Amino acid sequence: MKLVVTWADVRGLRKLEKGVRWLNENFPKVLPRIMNQVGDRARTRVVRALTTQTGLKRDVIRRAVDNSKRAFTGQLIYDLRSRGGNVRLKYLNPKETEAGVVATPFSKRTLYPGTFMRGGAFPDRKIVRRFDGHVYYRLNRSGTRITFARSGVIIPKEMIIGATKEAFEGEVQTTLPMRIDQVLRKLQG
């Protein structure tokens, strides 16, 4: 038994061949651009969500979150990274009270007993230039050894949980397939 397929009209086949060739040449150039655009949008959403989630100012978050790798032809990876450790209380809108310093980690007002930002006895506290707005606590009773007070906010850890994770994944899972589909339709003519 023999099966023979013939095309009566080869114009459709030639059009299909031309379309596949066009996609093969242009889609690899366009896909990294789409990934970078969607990645940049996701980064913006992550910065917004982290600002709310951590209580830090937007500028601090923007400096901590960067995209160290962008997609390009042959390497379709958009890498969003952050750096930083346990954030000092200076960056969380601290205010000194008699009981200690009040700051806003995780967008909640929290008292840190025994911490200080100024020198001297209450109520005549003086600003110490060396402190530069940082919050400290004493390591010994005499007060000769002091160290920075930390908040417990760790930006890289906060990036992968809660609203920030949902913001990133939501943007990538909804926008990226839609944009790729739009470009494919456009390239097909």
Over residues 35-51, the pLDDT tens digits come to 999 999 999 999 999 99
The pLDDT of residue 2 is 61
Contacts 24+ apart (CB under 8 A), 60-65: 60/91, 61/155, 64/155, 65/155, 65/159
Q: Are 170 and 48 in contact (CB under 8 A)?
A: no
Residue 143 Cα distances to 79, 89, 136, angstroms: 45, 19, 11
Q: What residues does each domain of the chain span? A: 11-84+155-188, 88-152
Q: In the chain, how long is the greatest CA-to-CA distance?
A: 105
The pLDDT of residue 24 is 77
pLDDT category at 3 given cuts 50, 70, 90 is: low
Separation CA 139–CA 34 (nearest Å): 53
Least confident of 59-63, 87-91, 122-126, 148-152: 122-126
The pLDDT of residue 180 is 86
Q: What is the pTM of this model?
A: 0.79
Q: Is 23 exposed, middle or buried (0-12, 13-18, 19+ CB in 10 A)?
A: middle
